[in-house]
Amino acid sequence: MSHPGAAGRTATAGARFRATMSGGRRRRLWDNAAMSDHRTRFLDLALQAQALRFGRFTLKSGRESPYFFNAGLFNSGAALSALAACYADALDEAGTGFDLLFGPAYKGIPLATALACEYARRGRDLPVAFNRKEAKAHGEGGSLIGAPLDGRRVLVVDDVITAGTAIREALAIIRNAGGTPAGIVIALDRQEIAGEGQSQSAAQAVAAEAGIPVVAVATLDDLLGFADASASLADERARLQAYRVQYGVRDIHR
């Protein structure tokens, strides 16, 4: 939810960014090989798709954020393909080991599917599974669809970790089906404390509880660096930094 006036400033920031790029550069940004760094490539893609917006947004936590991320706006084949390449590059850099991709309903389903297609393009054929929100009582029944999880090292593929509730549910589903959670990959880590009086982010808390890595394609710190390097986003950096100071985790490696 955004306050009045957010849309106007968001549109202005997005327009400034898009105006700095020629049509040729915009086309090349959808190319997986266009930029060497997956963080910069992802943030460029998110701005193009308007999945990353700037303004004043009231989050579910009640905090007022100067930016908002909605992975649902990567809503074309080209956008999802380019996004999946960013996920794969982040995972390859992190060295996370896994042999099955799991997409929690709902946004995790297309993300895991796109990532499986990207790995197949790279020569690695990975099985994919996902869950239903409600168990099916007819047909094949159950709450799981896709490859069996039993005996597999399972990577959870999602967009963000907000409170961690949905991720914890996904980890329980995986364990109950005989799988072993091997890691979690998300698009954007906001790097902010989960609540008042807490020192960890939701992603850090889940990683510590489950004893598995959480890999992010990009973080708020990456977004700050990206804004530093972009004249079109200069007006947003001070607001991003103020938010980081107020709500950010003190030790990002904790």
Amino acid at 139: G
The answer to whether 60 is a known catalytic residue is no
The answer to whether 138 is a known catalytic residue is yes
Beta-ladder partners of 66: none
Beta-ladder partners of 52: 69
SS (H, E, C) the chain: CECCCHHHHHHHHHHHHHHCCCHHHHHHHCCCCCCCCHHHHHHHHHHHCCCEEEEEEECCCCCEEEEEECHHHCCCHHHHHHHHHHHHHHHHHHCCCCCEEEECCCCHHHHHHHHHHHHHHCCCCCCEEEEEEEEECCCCCEEEEECCCCCCEEEEECCCCCCCHHHHHHHHHHHHCCCEEEEEEEEEECCEECCCCCCCEHHHHHHHHHCCCEEEEEEHHHHHHHHHCCHHHHHHHHHHHHHHHHHECCCCCC
Catalytic-labelled residue, pool 38, 60, 133, 138:
138
Q: Mind telling me the catalytic residues? A: 136, 138
